[in-house]
Amino acid sequence: MDKGRLEAFSDGVFAVAITILALNLSVAGPGHGPLLHQLAHHWPQFAAYVVSFFTIGIIWVNHHALFMRIALVDRRLLFLNLFLLMVVVLLPFATSTLATYLTTGGRDSHVAAAFYSLVDLAMALAFSAIFRWTLGEGRLVRAVPPELTTRATIRFTIGTLAYVVAFGVSFVSAPAALAITGVVAVYYMFEQAPPLPAAFEDGGALAAGSEATGPE
């Protein structure tokens, strides 16, 4: 129940943050050229919207899979979770900034992409911190075999490294940095941990080991 309310609050924040992404979408209205051109001209807004929507969505999916296995909630977990949420709530602003500068080129577009990548990276690190917290004695409903923990850690690292690469690429090309973030989202969406789907269907505790490997 304790945990239930933590999840409910987190779900609320994820839900509002993911919906607020769409507030960045706008057209200037009559007198600013044909609507079709306005919509076409705003493709960076739409591209950034889709990438960020799935980035937050996947973090939510992984949050869900990880918390499903957590047995107790302590004050440290509450604040690690709060830190994760603080970063998630920054993402709509980072998305809006990136969309605005995506096609301006030059140094500003690099700064916008670097800022966006840093927020993604902070989100991945915050999620990793929660994952590491779960490795403590007695914090999970059921112990996770060491090899699953290792695999989950490897996947975390892949996601985190991809965001580091996106950060570096930002200084070359903002659209390329956004594309890398999109690839990370697609990777985690299609990534299926082979041996575990059955276990997931019968309760989820084991399969969650493969789930907890998100965009971070």
Q: Which is nearer to a copy of itself, 135 or 146 (CB)?
A: 135
Which residue, 82 or 164, is less far from a copy of itself as judged by CB?
Answer: 82
Q: Tokens at residue 62, please?
A: 């992984």
Chain positions contacting a copy of itself, by CB under 8 A: 1-2, 5-9, 11-23, 25-27, 29-30, 34-36, 39, 50, 53-54, 57, 60-61, 64, 68, 72, 74-75, 78-79, 82, 85-86, 89-90, 92-93, 96-97, 100-101, 104, 107-108, 111-112, 115, 189, 192, 197, 200-201, 204, 211
Least gap, CB of 157 to a copy of itself (angstroms): 21
Q: Which is nearer to a copy of itself, 30 or 146 (CB)?
A: 30
Q: Name which of 61 and 178 has its Cβ closer to a copy of itself.
A: 61
CB of 149 to a copy of itself, least distance (A): 20
* Secondary structure of residue 137 in the 3-state scheme: coil
CB of 34 to a copy of itself, least distance (A): 6
**Separation of alpha carbons 54 and 189, rounded Å:** 9
DSSP assignment of 156-168 equals HHHHHHHHHHHHH
Q: Are 7 and 85 in contact (CB under 8 A)?
A: no
Nearer residue to a copy of itself within complex by CB, 168 or 197: 197
Longest Cα separation, the chain: 64
Q: Between residues 18 and 140, which has the closer beta carbon with respect to a copy of itself?
A: 18
Work out how close the CB of 176 gets to a copy of itself at its nearest, in angstroms, rounded to a whole number: 18
Per-residue DSSP letter, 28: -
DSSP H helices in 69-173:
75-101, 106-134, 146-170
Cβ 125 to a copy of itself shortest distance, Å? 16
- 190 near 126, Cβ under 8 Å? no
**Closest separation between CB of residue 72 and a copy of itself, Å?**
5
* CB neighbour list of residue 73: distance below 8 Å, 6 or more residues apart: 2, 3, 6
| Rounded Cα–Cα distance for residues 113 and 116 (Å) | 5
